[in-house]
Amino acid sequence: MNKTANANPNDGEGHYFELGMVPKYVFTSYPLRIELPTYVTFPSSNYYDTTEPDGTPIPHSTVGVFGTGVRVTAPLTFINWRYGRWSVHADFIYQHLFADGVVFDNENFLPPVQGRGIPRKSSVA
């Protein structure tokens, strides 16, 4: 994976490795599926931002992001099979940002979204 738009373009090319699994259970009495997606990313040392705007170095972490959650999926059997297999799902995903470069990028470069819960640094003195 090459750099994202929020990564530091001055640090050269960076990559990350992602390891994950999705254990699932399908109920026999009702066609309901529960999945537990879990993953962890391992970024290269220059994948995320490595310096603050004032030049202060941002420490590198071996683990970038850890995510886990639950997804519940139910088929929509009332839709005719000729239109394909339709389903609806709901999921909750928790992500923990380990790498300080990820946290820095999320605080400074993502557009504000109500309810995200990530504090924004003010550009007004």
User: pLDDT, tens digit, for every residue of 14-48?
Assistant: 777 889 999 999 998 888 999 999 999 888 776 76
Query: Which residues of the chain fall short of a pLDDT of 70?
Result: 1-12, 46, 48-53, 60, 104-125
pLDDT value at residue 5? 41
pLDDT value at residue 95? 87
Instruction: Give the pTM.
Output: 0.63
pLDDT value at residue 22? 94
Distant-in-sequence, close-in-space partners of 108: CB < 8 Å, separation ≥ 6? 121
Alpha-carbon span 9 to 46, nearest angstrom: 9
The percent helix, strand, coil of the chain (3-state, each to 5) is: 10, 35, 55
pLDDT value at residue 6? 47
pLDDT value at residue 12? 62
Domain ranges of the chain: 9-108
Torsion of CA 18, 50, 6, 45, to 10 degrees: -20
pLDDT value at residue 73? 95
